[in-house]
A and B are shown apart, each in its own frame.
Chain A
Amino acid sequence: MGKTFVEKILGKKAGKEVVPGEIVMVEPDRLMSHDNSAAISKKFKSIGIKNVAYPDRIVIILDHCVPAASEKYATNHKVIREFVKEQGIRNFFDIHNGICHQVFIEKGFALPGNLILGSDSHTTSYGAVGAFSAGIGRTEMAALYATGELWLKVPQSYKIVVTGKFPAGVSAKDLILHIIGTIGSDGALYKSVEFTGETISDMSVSDRIILSNMSAEMGAKNGYFAPDDKTREFLKGKTDEGYEEIYPDEDAEYERILKFDVTNLSPRVAKPHTVDNVSHIEEVKGIKINQALLGTCTNGRLNDLEAAAKILKGKKIHPDTRMLVFPASQEIMLEAMKNGTLQILAEAGAVLMNPGCGPCLGAHEGTLAPGEVCITTANRNFKGRMGCKEAFVYLASPETVAASAIKGEIADPREVI
């Protein structure tokens, strides 16, 4: 019987044949952490070891609260900068670089066949290039700093097959919201999810990241895309390290195979306060909004900003609405500057912010007031997520967010393109 992707990669890392349910010890190729590295360093020091085992496997990116919003945050960053120096961690990216997952991918740390663990739930993102990547806690990261190894359970696998061509105004974000709305926020709990099908082959790596990123929102351990020419092209110039692509066997066994067709897909919106509370645009159209947010590790890439700019070009954001734009990285910001995208967004009345997480987790700028409504391209709409438990967060595509910003209410992007 053939093996799924996760059985193959965990087997390779464990140095033996593995089956679902088995617990294996593995040595990850890379470890990712962000502003929580200060807490990790403290935990690491409590173990009583002086030096981290493999400094070159550690990647630290400051993004969650950048620039620091208060003395506490500033101190948090300072602790990390000192730790990085003292431990000789070369792969450190300070506050100007952007959101951890985007920077990690851009700088060529996410490679096919790699095993990556990160102390952030959306570490699943790197599956878009054919890596195994999963989120862990900060204590586990501290233990990994010390020993370089950690236990993982070999999960069962699901296959999600997607066919059809996207209609105009509908994109990868609508697809993943539709999938999560269908199977539920625990629909793939503990599972390794493999995305495949003609729609996936047609998709850019940037759009595949939206799907692997939000695999975390259906409870998945990881979300995988088989590397192809698009992946190889995407990685060109990002790394000079070799990598080994790993594919599932044709006769691999899946616990479930789910099929989706995007031919007639309409824009989708996840309503407060759970990601699987998904509606067709028609049901939520007309709900007044106070803020529109374009950005985050889900939808802050160049093509997302461009999709929004296309809709906002020559138009003005509704006077009762404010729009915030956070490019996912400095590289993206510079590209969007050069090609005029940022100019279009600013002329429409959007506030251009620095690359970073922004209000996504409610710990920094751009937070909401009680009773306010925000439509965002982010991946979570939990109660209190944007800093206020009495506010309402709706999740949508860049197209829907841009259309809504113009109208001052949730709007169907197909009506404005």
Chain B
Amino acid sequence: MIKGKVWKYGDDINTDVIFPGKYTYTVTDSNEMAQYALEDLDPDFSKNVKQGDIIVAGKNFGCGSSREQAVIALKEAGISAIIAPSFARIYYRNAINEGVPLLENSEAPEHIEHGDEITIDLDKGEIINAQGKVFKFPPLPPSVQEIMNAGGLIPYVKKKRMTEVG
């Protein structure tokens, strides 16, 4: 179960506003990345975000560059899940590989406001808004779920390798 306060944003939030390109080769420490998260969109975010908070956004979240910092910066800032009608495909992969749940639902964002406290049940595939209304999201395919369960792609490859080596 995930419970958290909502940061709400619009459509097409791109990787450049999530983590500016100018920092891609100078800010290499994961913790430091968090302080630049969403800098060009919402300077308030990095100052006030709390561990466990949730982002709710419009369509095509994470479009643009393949930079993984755009996932890591939000994860390090404390974001526990992101809800949107759709996600850009590389962003979606990057999030799985970092173990950050992305939940696809086109109705929920219309019924969730900035600052709301909402609940997510990953096992049941449910988002419960502040008024108690339930929204369903599709479960991940089993092979992808395995990567998420291992905590991301690197731990998954490590684990697999250990079992293979014996």
- Chain A residues proximal to chain B, CB less than 8 Å: 23, 35-36, 39, 43, 46-49, 64-65, 70, 72-73, 76, 119-121, 135-140, 142-143, 146-147, 151, 153, 185-186, 189-190, 219, 221, 274, 361-363, 367, 380, 382-385, 387, 389
In the bound complex, how far is the Cα of B60 from the Cα of A23, in angstroms? 21
Flag whether B5 is at the interface (Cβ < 8 A): no
Return chain B residues, CB-CB under 8 Å to A389: 20, 39-40
- Cross-chain contact B141 with A23 (CB below 8 angstroms): yes
Q: Which residue of B lies closest to A152 (CB)?
A: B93
Name the one of B24, B66, B154, B161 contacting A46, with C-beta atoms under 8 angstroms. Answer: B154
Return chain B residues, CB-CB under 8 Å to A140: 93-94, 97, 153
In the bound complex, how far is the Cα of B161 from the Cα of A387, in angstroms? 41
Return chain A residues, CB-CB under 8 Å to B89: 189-190, 219, 221
Contacting A at CB under 8 A, from B114-141, are 141
Name the residue in B12, B89, B152 with the highest tally of chain A Cβ atoms < 10 Å from its Cβ: B89
Name the one of A70, A72, A136, A139 contacting B154, with C-beta atoms under 8 angstroms. Answer: A139
In the bound complex, how far is the Cα of B22 from the Cα of A97, in angstroms? 22
Return chain B residues, CB-CB under 8 Å to A48: 158, 161
- Bitwise interface map of B from 73 to 89 toward A, beta carbon under 8 Å scored 1, else 0: 00000000000001011
Name the one of A136, A189, A367, A382 contacting B64, with C-beta atoms under 8 angstroms. Answer: A382
Name the one of B22, B24, B66, B153 contacting A121, with C-beta atoms under 8 angstroms. Answer: B66
Q: Which residue of B lies closest to A274 (CB)?
A: B12
Return chain B residues, CB-CB under 8 Å to A35: 25
Contacting A at CB under 8 A, from B152-166, are 152-154, 157-158, 161
Total count of chain B residues near the partner, CB < 8 A: 41
Provide the main secondary structure of the chain A interface: loop
Known A47-B161, A76-B25, A384-B21: A139·B16 in contact at CB below 8 Å: no
Name the residue in B63, B67, B143 with the highest tally of chain A Cβ atoms < 10 Å from its Cβ: B63
- Cross-chain contact B65 with A23 (CB below 8 angstroms): no
In the bound complex, how far is the Cα of B157 from the Cα of A142, in angstroms? 10
Closest Cβ of chain A: how far from B90's Cβ, in Å? 5
Closest Cβ of chain A: how far from B158's Cβ, in Å? 6
In the bound complex, how far is the Cα of B93 from the Cα of A221, in angstroms? 12
Contacting A at CB under 8 A, from B1-39, are 12, 14, 16-17, 20-26, 28, 39
- Cross-chain contact A361 with B24 (CB below 8 angstroms): yes
- Cross-chain contact A47 with B65 (CB below 8 angstroms): no
- Cross-chain contact A72 with B93 (CB below 8 angstroms): no
- Cross-chain contact A136 with B88 (CB below 8 angstroms): no
Known A23-B144, A135-B66, A189-B60: A121·B90 in contact at CB below 8 Å: yes
Contacting A at CB under 8 A, from B34-50, are 39-41
- Cross-chain contact A382 with B17 (CB below 8 angstroms): yes
Closest Cβ of chain B: how far from A65's Cβ, in Å? 6
Flag whether B98 is at the interface (Cβ < 8 A): yes
Q: Which residue of A lies closest to B87 (CB)?
A: A189
- Cross-chain contact B86 with A137 (CB below 8 angstroms): no
Known A23-B144, A185-B60, A382-B64: A146·B16 in contact at CB below 8 Å: no
Return chain B residues, CB-CB under 8 Å to A70: 26
In the bound complex, how far is the Cα of B64 from the Cα of A243, in angstroms? 31
In the bound complex, how far is the Cα of B154 from the Cα of A151, in angstroms? 14
In the bound complex, how far is the Cα of B10 from the Cα of A304, in angstroms? 36
Return chain A residues, CB-CB under 8 Å to B97: 137, 139-140, 143
Closest Cβ of chain A: how far from B35's Cβ, in Å? 16
- Cross-chain contact B161 with A137 (CB below 8 angstroms): no
Closest Cβ of chain A: how far from B142's Cβ, in Å? 9
Closest Cβ of chain A: how far from B118's Cβ, in Å? 24
- Cross-chain contact B143 with A151 (CB below 8 angstroms): yes
Return chain A residues, CB-CB under 8 Å to B143: 23, 151
Flag whether B113 is at the interface (Cβ < 8 A): no
In the bound complex, how far is the Cα of B64 from the Cα of A404, in angstroms? 26
- Cross-chain contact B21 with A189 (CB below 8 angstroms): no
Name the one of B41, B65, B66 contacting A136, with C-beta atoms under 8 angstroms. Answer: B66
- Cross-chain contact A139 with B68 (CB below 8 angstroms): yes
Name the one of B64, B88, B153, B161 contacting A380, with C-beta atoms under 8 angstroms. Answer: B64
Return chain A residues, CB-CB under 8 Å to B40: 383-384, 389
In the bound complex, how far is the Cα of B89 from the Cα of A221, in angstroms? 7
- Cross-chain contact B68 with A385 (CB below 8 angstroms): no
In the bound complex, how far is the Cα of B21 from the Cα of A48, in angstroms? 30
Closest Cβ of chain A: how far from B36's Cβ, in Å? 11
Name the one of B14, B144, B154 contacting A142, with C-beta atoms under 8 angstroms. Answer: B154
Closest Cβ of chain A: how far from B161's Cβ, in Å? 7
Name the residue in B90, B143, B144, B161 with the highest tally of chain A Cβ atoms < 10 Å from its Cβ: B90
**Pairs across A and B, CB under 8 Å, 30 listed:** A23-B141, A36-B67, A39-B28, A48-B158, A76-B25, A120-B66, A121-B64, A121-B65, A121-B90, A136-B66, A136-B93, A137-B68, A139-B68, A140-B93, A140-B153, A142-B154, A147-B157, A151-B143, A185-B12, A189-B89, A361-B24, A361-B65, A363-B21, A363-B22, A363-B24, A380-B16, A380-B64, A382-B17, A382-B64, A384-B40
